A = this chain, B = another copy of it.
Amino acid sequence: MTDITTLSGPVPPGGTIGILGGGQLGRMLALAAARLGFKTHIYSDQANPCAFQVADAHTSARYDDQSALEKFARACDAITMEFENIPVATVNFLSALRPVNPNGRALAITQDRLEEKNFVRAQGLRTPHFAAVSSPADIVHALEVTGSPAVLKTRRMGYDGKGQAKVATAAEAADAFARFHGAPCILESFVPFAFEASIVAARAWNGDFAAYDPSENLHEHHILRRTAVPSRLNDAQADAAKAYADIIARGLEYVGVLAVELFVTEDWVMLVNEIAPRVHNSGHWTLDACMVSQFEQHIRAVAGWPLGDPRRHSDAVMENIIGEEANDWRRLSAHGGALHLYGKSPALSGRKMGHITRLSPMSGR
């Protein structure tokens, strides 16, 4: 820990970056921080998460343990997080002690699907039609807004398809709402998109912005299976996607890397589906196809450093290694691509265990 940076200015090499969350994203953030000469301190509510293996220091405690949080903050020069469901109260508590990014407001907005969509609309960007569903009485009106079919989603804590149900009628929506135990929901139009694209980008302390080329994503069973760069977006669309991310990052007064997921419709309209206020699975290809990965870019931003060059030197296809696929490590080790395994065990169904990226020479955007 270096005292000078608790006041202002960039964290010097040798300083400590605190990371809330100890999963694979925290692990890859820690590896990227180490490359720049930083130490890392991982804080997790898990006993022995995989990021602990590569960090200089770690704390295992609840996210509302103020004594542990204070000790953690005092050991760090700047603090960030690997996932968006860190309690906003935790972030606000830490922010009184050290620079924390992304900021509490950005988290609060992106933790709630309704707040998030209202925010996106307020920036002048398009989303699928949506309406709040706070009680069964809201369902008929909401379906008039969205049309049918639609997707009912809990406003908070959903990921990888959890807390989501496709519904065609008010009765189906009421059933789904009951299955979600009456948690506040949002009903969204079901978009028969041609493909999903995402844009991973970074914003620095001084407002500088740097976006990676948009990727095209394929999901299976609601989990990301494959990301390819370049996407099918043409140059103008790719530039527009980058501009969306810039507008969103500015609106959130954001510092760090974020991802914006876009539905691209058959008639090439781009709708904002979701914002992830963190490094993102659809940006893992940047580890191997760019000089500066999304992980290093995020560390640079939260440490108050200048952003790195987001250009890629290669085309890339990233595939996730999910659940028991990781047991096939002998075959994966001979695959020929760039292999990343996250040090997690056991290889439970649906768990993201690693990824592998194959590069090829640049074919254009």
Contact = CB atoms under 8 A, between A and B. Distances in A.
A257 to B, nearest CB: 17
Given A34-B31, A36-B341, A291 B291 contact: no
Contact of A314 (B30, B306, B313): B313
A61 interface: no
Interface stretch (A7-15, A75-83, A135-143, A157-165): A7-15
A266 interface: no
A288 B30 CA distance: 18
A344 to B, nearest CB: 8
Interface in A55-109: 55-56
B31 A342 contact: no
Interface residues on A, range: 35 or more
Contacts of A13: 326, 329, 341, 343, 354
Nearest to A361: B313
A300 B329 CA distance: 13
A314 B291 CA distance: 11
A343 B329 CA distance: 32
A37 B126 CA distance: 40
Contacts of A336: 308-309
A345 interface: yes
Interface string A285-308: 000100110000000100001101
A179 B221 CA distance: 72
Contact of A333 (B10, B326, B330, B344): B10
A34 B53 contact: yes
Contacts of A292: 338
A101 B306 CA distance: 40
Contact of A330 (B10, B54, B291, B337): B10
B39 A343 contact: yes
A278 interface: no
Contacts of A330: 10
Interface string A333-361: 11011111111110000000010010101
A340 B54 contact: no
Interface string A4-34: 0000001011100000000000010011001
A121 interface: no
Contacts of A219: none
A12 B346 CA distance: 13
Contacts of A288: 291
5 contacts: A10-B333, A31-B35, A31-B54, A35-B339, A36-B339
Given A305-B333, A306-B334, 4 more contacts: A13-B341, A39-B343, A313-B361, A361-B362
Interface of A: 10, 12-14, 27, 30-31, 34-39, 52-56, 288, 291-292, 300, 305-306, 308-309, 313-314, 326, 329-330, 333-334, 336-345, 354, 357, 359, 361-362
